[in-house]
Amino acid sequence: MKPIKHYHFPLSGHSHRVELMLSLLELPVEVVFVDLAKGAHKKTEFLAINAFGQVPVIDDDGVVLADSNAILVYLAHKYGQGRWLPTDPIGAARVQRWLSAAAGPIHAGPATARLITVFGAAYNAEDVIARSHALLKVVDQELSHSPYLAGDTPTVADIAGYTYIAHAPEGNVSLEDYANVRAWLARIEALPGFVGMPRTVIGLQKTA
């Protein structure tokens, strides 16, 4: 098969979700670097493939898709052989719940906390860190009942949730009190084909 083009920025957690999924599925990939620091995502040629001006975007032999969670669903449906996205009503709903969380409280919490330290975004750090811990308490409790977010096997829910939670310490959000979360992260990292996102030595990560 032709390589899937992945329009990517290495420090974008949203891009990393797609990078990780592509690797777990062992799909051939052509990485296209999009230099966010130089505004490449706002150039006319990039806006032609994603009018929102965001990474990631994939081009799978002419099928062009944006939005990390939408891409995860597409890849799972097309290439996952039923492993990564349940089709039964309950399983599908459980996964959707966590995809919504990835776009909601995970984005508003750990992802935004990291934006402050890594990219200098102008948010109230105290509020964002508090939101992050409120989220992590829920995730930790949920993971006391099952090894993965949506049940007994890994799904796109875990891929959507992994990156920004794993990198929460970069945004001064400690994972120390969340043993179930840390065990879940280790399970994801042990999956065959796992690839990590580069860690930024900043925040609580600065001595790592």
Tell me whether the CATH fold assigned to 4-79 matches the one assigned to 89-205.
no
Tell me the per-residue pLDDT of 24-49, one tens digit each, with 9 for 90 and over: 999 999 999 998 888 889 889 999 99
Q: What is the mean pLDDT of the chain?
A: 95
Asked if pLDDT for residue 206 goes beyond 90, the answer is no
CATH architecture of 4-79: 3-Layer(aba) Sandwich (3.40)
153 token code pair: 């096997």
CA dist 17 and 11 (Å) reads 11
Fold of 89-205: Glutathione S-transferase Yfyf (Class Pi); Chain A, domain 2 (1.20.1050)
Tell me the per-residue pLDDT of 168-184, one tens digit each, with 9 for 90 and over: 999 999 999 999 999 99
Query: What is the phi-psi region of residue 27: left when phi exceeds 0, alpha when psi lies from -120 to 50, beta otherwise?
Result: beta
Q: Where are the domains of the chain?
A: 4-79, 89-205
Tell me the per-residue pLDDT of 75-101, one tens digit each, with 9 for 90 and over: 999 999 999 999 999 999 999 999 999
Asked if pLDDT for residue 1 goes beyond 90, the answer is no
What lies within 8 Å, CB to CB, of 42 at 6+ separation is 53
Whether pTM > 0.85 for this model: the answer is: yes
